[in-house]
């Protein structure tokens, strides 16, 4: 096929909007984004060190594919390594299974290696049921890690009492937050080490006029910070329209009402979850309070975690809540061993 690939630019935004509407995700739950801002701004400016690529075809109007890659430093096998996170893949349904996803992957892999070297780590999150993406990843990945769960926690209308104070983290508390997070993550894989500096920088990354990133914590009555999370108010930038999901999930949703009748998801994503030893309850109360405080603006609070960890129990995720699994496709000079917990990356 005569595909032409080039770097994504701001001028592509209108065509990206059309491509997104026509190209729902091919996983178990199929959805497509509806952007409130420029799609280019959401994809490129919404995450630091991100590069995009788009594809055209002479026999098809507009764009037929797009994708992005984000450069970052993470820890694998106890060592900090430069990595590229492959994301935001869209291929028009009329041109799937014709090699375009492979071309888009090759473009991004080449870009990362040109920037940081041939030994760069590469990884992508692939939703359960997305067979095509898994097959495409087999062409470049050296390993697949399938221990990650994606949980769309519903927001809550009413609060509950807590012995902890839940509030936003102040700049003079960033170092304490970072230390708590990094200590919690010791020995885990895919960890992005926090510092006071990169915490402050993350708050400045936003694709709209309104900041969308926040650091929140749970404090004891003595003022000790004992749990923390990062928040990303995606609902300000885009919403997700569910196009299709399995029958069993549809039935479960009639009872749980996680997905509203119009199929529109507005989320505030939680990541970088941590708690000090013995303070599991603090993390539970923190995430619960997030679900309450953002109830008027969002309807889900997505979290991702290693299913072998305590987090599912700490957050008290209902067994009947519709969830999906994530497989991490990985290229790495060193293998990820199965006895280490995963600290999954949920896009900013």
**In order of start, what are the domains of the chain with their CATH numbers?**
4-146 (3.40.630.30), 151-331 (3.40.630.30)
What letters, b where the CB count within 10 A reaches 16 and e where it falls short, cover 50-88? bbbbbbbbeeeeebbbbbbbbbbebbbeeeebbbbbbbb
Q: Provide the 8-state DSSP code for 44.
A: I
Task: Please give the helix or strand (H or E) that residue 216 lies within, else none.
Answer: strand 213-219
Per-residue pLDDT at 271: 97
Per-residue pLDDT at 249: 65
Mean pLDDT by runs of 10 across the 348 residues of the chain is: 92 96 75 90 86 96 96 93 95 91 97 94 92 92 93 92 97 99 97 96 82 97 99 94 70 65 89 98 98 96 96 92 90 87 83
**pTM listed for this prediction:** 0.91
Per-residue pLDDT at 48: 79
Cα distance between residue 176 and residue 164, in whole Å: 17
Q: How far apart are the first and last CA of the chain?
A: 34
- Give the position of tokens 């106890």: 78
CA atoms within 13 A on the CB side of 133: 25
Per-residue pLDDT at 310: 96
Are 304 and 272 in contact by the 8 Å Cβ rule? The answer is no
Q: Which two tokens stand for residue 213?
A: 């990133």
Can you state the percent helix, strand and coil of the chain, rounding each to 5?
Answer: 30, 35, 35
């Amino acid at each position: 096929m005569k595909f032409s690939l080039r770097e994504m630019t701001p001028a592509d935004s209108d065509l990206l909007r059309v491509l997104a509407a026509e190209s729902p995700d091919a996983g178990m739950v199929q959805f497509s984004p509806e952007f409130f801002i420029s799609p280019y701004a959401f994809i490129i400016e919404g995450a630091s060190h991100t590069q995009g690529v788009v594809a055209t075809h002479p026999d098809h109007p507009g764009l037929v594919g797009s994708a992005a890659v984000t450069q970052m430093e993470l820890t694998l096998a106890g060592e900090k390594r430069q990595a590229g996170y492959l994301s935001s893949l869209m291929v028009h349904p009329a041109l799937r299974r014709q090699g375009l996803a492979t071309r888009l992957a090759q473009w991004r892999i080449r870009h990362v290696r040109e920037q940081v070297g041939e030994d760069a780590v590469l990884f992508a999150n692939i939703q359960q049921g997305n067979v095509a993406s898994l097959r495409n990843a087999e062409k470049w990945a050296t390993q697949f890690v399938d221990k990650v769960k994606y949980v769309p926690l519903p927001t809550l209308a009413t609060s509950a009492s807590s012995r902890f104070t839940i509030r936003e983290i102040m700049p003079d508390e960033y170092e304490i937050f970072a230390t708590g997070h990094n200590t919690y993550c010791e020995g885990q894989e895919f960890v992005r080490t926090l510092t006071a500096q990169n915490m402050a920088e993350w708050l400045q990354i936003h694709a709209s006029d309104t900041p969308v990133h926040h650091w929140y914590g749970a404090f004891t009555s003595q003022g000790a910070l004992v749990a923390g999370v990062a928040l990303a108010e995606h609902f300000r930038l885009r919403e997700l329209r569910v196009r299709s999901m399995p029958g069993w999930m549809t039935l479960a949703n009639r009872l749980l009402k996680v997905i509203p009748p119009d199929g529109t998801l507005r989320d505030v994503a939680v990541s970088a979850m941590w708690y000090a030893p013995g303070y599991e309850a603090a993390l539970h109360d923190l995430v619960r309070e997030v679900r309450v405080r953002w109830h008027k603006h969002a309807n889900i609070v997505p979290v991702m975690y290693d299913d072998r960890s305590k987090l599912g129990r700490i957050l008290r995720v209902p067994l009947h809540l519709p969830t999906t699994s994530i497989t991490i496709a990985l290229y790495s000079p060193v293998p990820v061993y199965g006895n280490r917990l995963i600290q999954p990356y949920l896009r900013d």
